[in-house]
Amino acid sequence: MARLLCVLTSLVGETRESAKFRTRGQIREKVTKGDEVLLRGLDGTLVGYASVTAVLPIGLIIALALDGLAGADVPLSAEVWLPEGDHDPGPPTPAHTMNQPGTSLASVVATCVVCGAKQPARPFAEPLQCPRCLAYLVVGYEQTQELGPNQLMPRPTLLIPLPALPGQIEWPQMCACCGGPAEKTAEVSTTGSIHQAMTGGALDFMFREIPAVRTLSPSWYETYRSVGTSGSGGPAPGWAFPLCGVDNPEHQDPVTVWTQDGALGFRSYRYHREFCRGNRLSDGR
Ligand SMILES: [Zn+2]
Ligand SMILES: [Zn+2]
Separation of alpha carbons 113 and 148, rounded Å: 12
Please choose, from the candidates 268, 251, 243, 282, the residue with its C-alpha nearest in 3D space to the C-alpha of residue 164.
282
Which ligand has an atom closest to residue 27 CA?
2
Print burial letters for 98-127: b (CB count within 10 Å at least 16), e (below 16): ebeeeeeeebbebbbbbeeeebebebeeeb
Assign 285 to helix, strand or coil: coil
CA–centroid distance, 24 to ligand 2, in Å, is 7
Answer left, alpha or beta for residue 225, where phi above 0 means left and psi between -120 and 50 means alpha: alpha
Distance separating alpha carbons of residues 260 and 274, to the nearest angstrom: 24
Q: How many angstroms does the Cα of residue 56 sit away from the middle of ligand 1?
A: 40
CA-to-CA distance for 159 and 272, rounded, in angstroms?
Answer: 8
Q: C-alpha distances in angstroms, 91 versus 30, 42, 64, 137, 143?
A: 17, 11, 20, 20, 20
Count Cβ atoms within 10 A of the Cβ of residue 264 and give its class: 0-12 exposed, 13-18 middle, 19 or more buried: buried
Q: How far is the CA of 217 from the centre of ligand 1 (A)?
A: 27
CA of 117 to the centre of ligand 1 (A): 5
User: Which residues hold their Cβ within 5 A of ligand 2, which is an ion?
Assistant: 25, 175, 177-178, 180, 244, 246
Q: Are 80 and 87 in contact (CB under 8 A)?
A: no
Mapped onto helix, strand or coil, the DSSP state of residue 232 is helix
Instruction: Give the 3-state secondary structure of residue 226.
Output: helix
Domain architecture of the chain: domains with CATH: 3-82 (2.40.30.10), 96-146 (no CATH), 158-278 (no CATH)
| Interior/surface letters 221-232, b for 16+ CB within 10 angstroms, e for the rest | bebbeeeebeee
Give the pTM.
0.78
Distance from Cα 23 to the centre of ligand 2, integer Å: 10
Return d(Cα 224, Cα 162) in angstroms, integer. 10
Output the CA 240–ligand 2 centroid distance in Å: 15
How far apart, in whole angstroms, are the C-alpha atoms of residue 211 and residue 266? 20
Q: Which residues pair with 143 in a beta bridge?
A: 98
pLDDT per position in the chain (285 positions), as tens?
Answer: 888 888 888 888 888 888 899 888 777 667 889 999 999 888 778 888 899 998 888 766 788 999 877 666 788 788 999 988 888 888 888 899 999 999 888 899 999 999 999 999 999 888 999 999 999 999 999 999 999 888 988 889 999 999 888 888 999 999 999 888 899 999 998 888 887 533 444 444 344 344 333 333 344 444 444 444 443 334 556 789 999 988 777 788 899 999 888 999 999 999 999 999 999 997 644
